[in-house]
Chain A
Amino acid sequence: AALNDGLRSQVSAALKEGRVAPTELCQRCLALIKSTKFLNAYITVAEETAMKQAEESEERYKRGQPLGILDGIPVAVKDNFNTAGIETTCASNMLKGYISPYNATVVQKLLDQGAVLLGKTNLDEFAMGSGSTDGVFGPVRNPWSYSKQYKEKSVPKSHSEESNWVITGGSSGGSAAAVSSFTCFAALGSDTGGSTRNPAAHCGVVGLKPTYGLISRHGLIPLVNSMDVPGILTRCVDDAAVLLGSLAGHDPKDSTTIQDDFEPFELPNLTDVSKLSIGIPKEYHAPGLSSEILALWSKAADLFKNAGAKVVEVSLPHTRYSIVCYHVLCTAEVASNMARFDGLEYGHRSDMKDSTESMYAATRREGFNDVVRGRILSGNYFLLKQNYEKYFVKAQKVRRLIANDFVKVFRSGVDILLTPTTLSDAAPYTEFIQEDNRTRSTQDDILTQAANMAGLPAINVPTALSKRGLPVGLQFIGRSFQEKQLLTVAKWFEKQVQFPMIQLEEVKRHDSGVFQHQKSASFS
């Protein structure tokens, strides 16, 4: 079954024509979630409410009044988005048992379109990390670890799959794994330093980071207010455009969303790329970039060139400082954002009663893991009066330099930048955990972070399988608010590379034809 056939042409069409019922679709996804439980992609599965939503959707289809393409489509949401009535934990002890009293705007929009919310996906605690390994519910396993493609290529050290599995990347690893293993058709992630694109690359799915200000952050538990965006994970670029269409737009509840009108769009089938100018930023040839990915990146550049596009080398000179800059700004904003967790109004509360301060301290001591605490302390250090100018303000100045690099490049006539998304394919878990979270994040965010600094839209498109049989993706970065152009180019590229479908036993067992329906549905 080709992955490129998306919602519009396949599942939604099937639902509309009555070839499959929403409840059936929902049930199948729920069953698949159960049989892929070992992936640990989901923290909460909202079985009852999902079935209820599916039933309501079914009624609408029977009446011939579906709400739109997303009506009846099972989706998953990263567990740092508030979902009314459903536990929202951020994979932290601090929020275990916290039942959101409201829906994040993006969640509400999905529900208003009739989407079926299957559950909340696993992540690094408070979205801090690049492996989805540091949450209190344990690490997420990359579905490709269990794929035929990986098993064929790997020579296991021991014969047990237990020690061989690879990470999903992070921090939206659960969402990426959920989409990659077919348990849902789309998932929401968040992206602050690459948290949607990184796991998308490792799990072989499309991961879109929209322009900052396009999609509402209301209800997304904040990490870095000036960089966070909700991320979209799907199996093909067309689906990402569908999701974007239903989520983008001004939200009065989020003053950082722009007020411009947003028109949802369908992606054209680009055939002529001769008017395109693709920029290849040389600084993205970063130390540690695997030769495999380097070769793939070159091949992609040539692909565009041979198709008639103008492909030029460009320079973003401050790239190598983006991680340092991010480190300071992120920890500073985290120090502020995490201050709200004191046990008084929600979340974990310590039994300590001596004083307010000691209760807060004990609550936070008990509720946060090392990574979170470390960032809070670092952030507070950089914000001390004696350090404020030297570190925080300095980082803000460097941020401007980084953002200006992009402005200059786009002003010189380049339309889209093409870069690798990750330095290599997914690492085995046992190897990944040998370095601490900060070191890993520093290494892994290097190619994705600058887009968050500058607020630009960026997308990971699964490109090919590595020697080890694992997905490798490439990243396209576009101009602010030019998602249509970005996605159009990404879709063209996706069509050229024809990324293979994951061969998972569990998926085969549960699939009874919906995924293979593309023969009867035409590609729209």
Chain B
Amino acid sequence: MRALLLGRWLRAGPGPPRPESRNGGNGGHRGNGGHRGNGGNGGHGPLRKVSVEVLDHLEHLALVDFRDSEGVERLHKAIQFADQLHEVNTDGVEPMDSVLEDRCLYLREDDVTEGNCTKELLENAREKVEEYFVAPPGNIPLPKLEERETFLQGS
């Protein structure tokens, strides 16, 4: 393969010099595992800890549990990773909700075009009575942290 003219700057390009530890033959694939400078483990800034109160609050909001210390660690890493955003200067920049923001939202006529599918909709529900979905009693908040069986209790 003769010297590639335009390609030359690609090879000389930015990006940290990386020891080429890959070899073709025996499956030694990613020499550096998961440790990449640019966003692999987000090694920027300290790993901030989130208070148990906030963690508990999150479990309530999400109605999903952290399950174990790994779950909590995952959140810490996610926050640390996201903190990189603060390096970017966004003065005077408007937030972007949608790439289609320059177009008018489509609104159709307020006419009923379909429906009458009660039977189909109820089919996938496990508990129902006549045409109702049956739920356990509402207005009962999840027990407080001390009373719940959650990993966070021990924190």
| Interface positions of A (Cβ within 8 A of B) | 98-99, 101-102, 153-157, 164, 212-213, 226, 250, 252, 255-259, 280, 282-283, 285-291, 294-295, 297-299, 301-302, 305, 311, 313, 318, 320-321, 323-325, 327-328, 331, 335, 342-347, 349, 352-361, 364-365, 368, 370, 373-374, 376-378, 380-382, 384, 390-391, 393-401, 403, 424, 427-428, 431, 434-436, 438-440, 442-443, 446, 454-455, 466-468, 480
Partner of A298, one of B11, B30, B40, B140: B11
Is B45's beta carbon under 8 Å from chain A?
Answer: no
Number of A-B residue pairs, CB cutoff 8 Å, is: 284
What is the bound-complex CA distance between A327 and B85, given in angstroms?
10
Contact indicator B106/A255 (Cβ below 8 Å): yes
Task: Report the count of interface residues on B (CB-CB < 8 A).
Answer: 88
- Considering only residues 31-80 of chain B, those with a C-beta below 8 Å from chain A are 32-34, 36-42, 50, 54, 57-59, 61-67, 70-71, 74-75, 77-79
- Complex formed: what's the CA distance from A347 to B97 in Å? 30
The answer to whether residues A358 and B88 also contact, given A252-B108, A258-B103, A324-B82 and a CB cut-off of 8 A, is no
16 contacts across the A-B interface (CB closer than 8 A): A155-B27, A157-B26, A226-B99, A356-B136, A357-B63, A357-B140, A370-B70, A377-B71, A378-B75, A384-B54, A384-B57, A397-B93, A428-B27, A431-B29, A454-B99, A455-B99
Residues of A within 8 A of B4 (CB): 298-299, 301-302
Contacts of B141 in A (CB 8 A): 355, 357
A contact residues around B88 at 8 Å (CB): 318, 321, 394, 397-398, 401
**CB within 8 A of B84: which of A155, A257, A321, A384?**
A321
Q: Which residues of A contact B16 (CB under 8 A)?
A: 287
Let me know if A344 and B125 touch, CB within 8 A.
yes
B138 within 8 A of A: yes
CA distance A250 to B100 in the complex (A): 14
Check B97 against A324 for contact (C-beta < 8 Å): no
Is B155 engaged at the interface, CB distance under 8 Å to the other chain? no
A374–B135 Cα gap in the complex (Å)? 26
Within the complex, what minimum Cβ distance (angstroms) separates A179 from chain B?
24
Chain A: CB-nearest residue to B66: A377
A344 contacts across to B, CB distance below 8 A = 125, 133, 135
* Inter-chain pairs besides A213-B99, A349-B126, A424-B30, 19 sampled, C-beta below 8 Å: A154-B27, A212-B99, A298-B7, A318-B88, A346-B125, A353-B136, A355-B137, A355-B142, A356-B135, A358-B136, A370-B71, A391-B85, A397-B93, A398-B85, A401-B90, A403-B96, A428-B27, A442-B81, A455-B100
Asked if residues B85 and A328 are in contact (CB atoms below 8 Å), the reply is yes
Check A299 against B1 for contact (C-beta < 8 Å): yes
Complex: how many Å from CA A328 to CA B85? Answer: 9
Q: B-side interface residues toward A, CB under 8 Å?
A: 1, 4-11, 13-16, 18, 20, 22, 24-27, 29-30, 32-34, 36-42, 50, 54, 57-59, 61-67, 70-71, 74-75, 77-79, 81-82, 84-88, 90, 93-100, 103, 105-108, 117, 120-121, 123-127, 133, 135-138, 140-142
C-alpha spacing A399/B88, complex, angstroms = 11
Residues of B near A357 (CB, < 8 A) are 63, 138, 140-142
CB atoms of B62 and A380 under 8 A apart? yes
* B94 CB contact (under 8 Å) in A99, A360, A400: A400
A302 → chain B, closest Cβ, in Å?
A: 5
Bound form: Cα–Cα A321–B90 in Å? 12
Instruction: For B124, give the chain A residue with the smallest CB separation.
Output: A346
Quick check: A377 and B58 within 8 Å, CB to CB? Answer: yes
Pick from A287, A305, A399 the residue with the most CB of B within 10 Å: A287
Pairwise interchain contact B96-A400, C-beta atoms closer than 8 A? yes
- Asked if A345 and B82 sit within 8 Å, CB to CB, the answer is no
Q: How far is the CA of A138 from the CA of B123 in the complex (A)?
A: 28
B24 contact from A282, A323, A391, A468, Cβ within 8 A: A468
Which 8 residue pairs of A and B lie closest in terms of their CB atoms, listed nearest first?
A: A298-B7, A455-B99, A396-B95, A467-B24, A355-B140, A346-B124, A397-B90, A435-B34
CB of B64, distance to nearest CB on chain A (Å): 5
Which of A311, A355, A395 has the most CB atoms of chain B within a 10 A radius of its CB? A355
